[in-house]
Amino acid sequence: MKGFQKLVTIEEARQKLFNNLKIERRTVVVPLAEALNRVLAEDIVADEDLPRFDRSAVDGYAVRAEDTFGASQFKPKRFRLTHADEVKVGEAKQVWTGTPLPKGANAVLMLEHTKRVSDNEIEVLVAVAPGENVSKRGEDVAKGEVAVKAGTRLKPHHLGLIAALGKNQVRVYEKPKVAVLATGNELVEIGKTLGENQVYEVNRLVIASLCRELGAEPVDLGIARDDIEEIFGKIRLGLEKADVVVTTGGTSVGASDLVPAVINSIGKPGVVVHGVAMRPAMPTALAVINNKPVIVLSGNPVAAMFGFEVFAGPLILKMLGAEHESRPVLKAKLTRRISTALGRKTFVRVRVFQCNGEFYAEPISARGSGVLSTMTKANGYVVVPENREGLEEGETVLVHLFDAVEATGEHV
């Protein structure tokens, strides 16, 4: 009967995993229209100035700024309207937001600072400085400038800027393929009928969904019985088909502790970490086989989620070239004390809410990490470090959000 004799810290565990891995990223060119949420694998450099010409930033009249000097509400100046390509002394030409600035003009008067007095004339009620209300050529992005950096997760505004530069395809990192296997004799596919002492297998769906959220592509390996041959075959298949294998179940120090043993029989270096000083997810194991990582998570759904969060998530982000990413965070005040054990990093589920403009974090008590509904009651978690026995009521804590904080009032 062996226990987890030597728990390693999360940092040591990650180090051991990454030290045994050489991450090779593949890239692929995709149409810009399909690039939302992909991670850019190249710097996007402007081939031309953006905008490509000086243009009006408002609706109004393009003028020579010097002609407006001295104009005021009490002493308006008159300008002749022109329809020619060039604006000459004492002339104004109507322009709209985005219109190229006509030759000769160097500023734009806003519509509301003028008064149309006849078909051919306007009165100008203010003076403008040269360059006023003009978007200068290259002011958005200058030719040769990096507009969007490699490693950026492409959001709508990035796509807009890349499109404005005229590029309709981009090079992004390929989605890592993550094979997902659940192990356990007690597991039944959702939708089937449960026998006595059986439970529905939920971890594959949860892990696959977490992979999709990060931008990875899950590959389903199904359920394996607690059987050496079956587990061996499925993990081998996963290693063939995917870049990462994630398993759930069979990591405890008990009788069904088959998965780490099977992994060690498949290839080198095998299991490099088994047992992490964290709670939940202490029995997590990390392995590498022929440069492919295998993340061995608890069968317990909540522990599996936190094991994924701490190990699989950062690994996938690294494979995606987006290792700088993390969940949204915010600061909130704890509504009550949290007690934790010394010597392990504890992940406490909390529900963040807003009250009178302040953010509060309410710990969600859970007797076991098997209680899935604690995850749906919470919208984030707080990390209690190894050297503390808890956190105090009223203490300001950093919350890592995995779901939305309900808005209290109106939309903006």
Residues 76-135 that bind its own copies (CB under 8 A): 94, 96-98, 100, 111-112, 116, 133, 135
User: Smallest distance from the beta carbon of 106 to its own copies, in angstroms?
Assistant: 15
Q: Is there binding between residue 158 and its own copies (CB under 8 A)?
A: yes
Distance separating alpha carbons of residues 336 and 339, to the nearest angstrom = 10
Nearest residue (CB) to its own copies, 277 versus 289: 277
Placement of tokens 């120090």 in the chain: 253
Q: Is there binding between residue 11 and its own copies (CB under 8 A)?
A: yes
Pick from 27, 104, 383, 390 the residue near its own copies by CB under 8 A.
383
User: Smallest distance from the beta carbon of 107 to its own copies, in angstroms?
Assistant: 13
Pick from 23, 150, 261, 330 the residue near its own copies by CB under 8 A.
330
Nearest residue (CB) to its own copies, 289 versus 382: 382
How far is CA 346 from each of CA 302, 329, 349, 369, 376, rounded to the nearest angstrom?
13, 17, 10, 12, 19
Pick from 72, 209, 265, 339 the residue near its own copies by CB under 8 A.
209
Site for its own copies in 257-296 (CB under 8 A): none
Produce one character per residue of 29-68: b if its CB has 16 or more CB atoms within 10 Å, e if not.
Answer: ebebeebeebbbbeebebeebbbeebbbbbbbbbbbbebb
Placement of tokens 């530069």 in the chain: 165
Q: Is there binding between residue 182 and its own copies (CB under 8 A)?
A: no
φ/ψ of 99, rounded to 5, equals: -65, 135
The number of residues that bind its own copies (CB under 8 A) is 109
User: Smallest distance from the beta carbon of 361 to its own copies, in angstroms?
Assistant: 13
User: Smallest distance from the beta carbon of 185 to its own copies, in angstroms?
Assistant: 11
User: Smallest distance from the beta carbon of 176 to its own copies, in angstroms?
Assistant: 17
User: Smallest distance from the beta carbon of 64 to its own copies, in angstroms?
Assistant: 20
Distance separating alpha carbons of residues 255 and 249, to the nearest angstrom = 12
Site for its own copies in 187-206 (CB under 8 A): 190-191, 194, 197, 199-203, 205-206
How far is CA 86 from each of CA 57, 103, 131, rounded to the nearest angstrom?
18, 5, 17
Nearest residue (CB) to its own copies, 32 versus 266: 32
Q: Is there binding between residue 208 and its own copies (CB under 8 A)?
A: yes
Nearest residue (CB) to its own copies, 189 versus 389: 189
Contacting range for its own copies; rule: CB under 8 A; set: 238-246, 268-276, 318-326, 336-344: 318-326
Q: Is there binding between residue 328 and its own copies (CB under 8 A)?
A: yes
Nearest to 169 by CA among 358, 33, 265: 33
Q: Is there binding between residue 53 and its own copies (CB under 8 A)?
A: yes
For residues 30 and 140, the answer to whether their CB atoms sit within 8 Å is no
Distance separating alpha carbons of residues 122 and 112, to the nearest angstrom = 12
Distance of CA 340 to the CA centre of its chain: 30
Q: Is there binding between residue 10 and its own copies (CB under 8 A)?
A: yes
Amino acid identity, position 24:
E
Q: Is there binding between residue 394 and its own copies (CB under 8 A)?
A: no
Q: Is 109 helix (H, G, I), strand (E, B) or coil?
A: strand
What angle in degrees, to the nearest 10, is found between the helix axes of 259-266 and 228-241? 60
User: Smallest distance from the beta carbon of 194 to its own copies, in angstroms?
Assistant: 7
How far is CA 123 from each of CA 81, 195, 350, rounded to the nearest angstrom?
10, 87, 63
The site map against its own copies for 346-365 (x = CB under 8 A) is -x---------x-x------
Pick from 78, 225, 236, 400 the residue near its own copies by CB under 8 A.
400
Containing H/E element for 338?
A: strand 338-339
Pick from 253, 341, 342, 355 the residue near its own copies by CB under 8 A.
253
Amino acid identity, position 225:
R
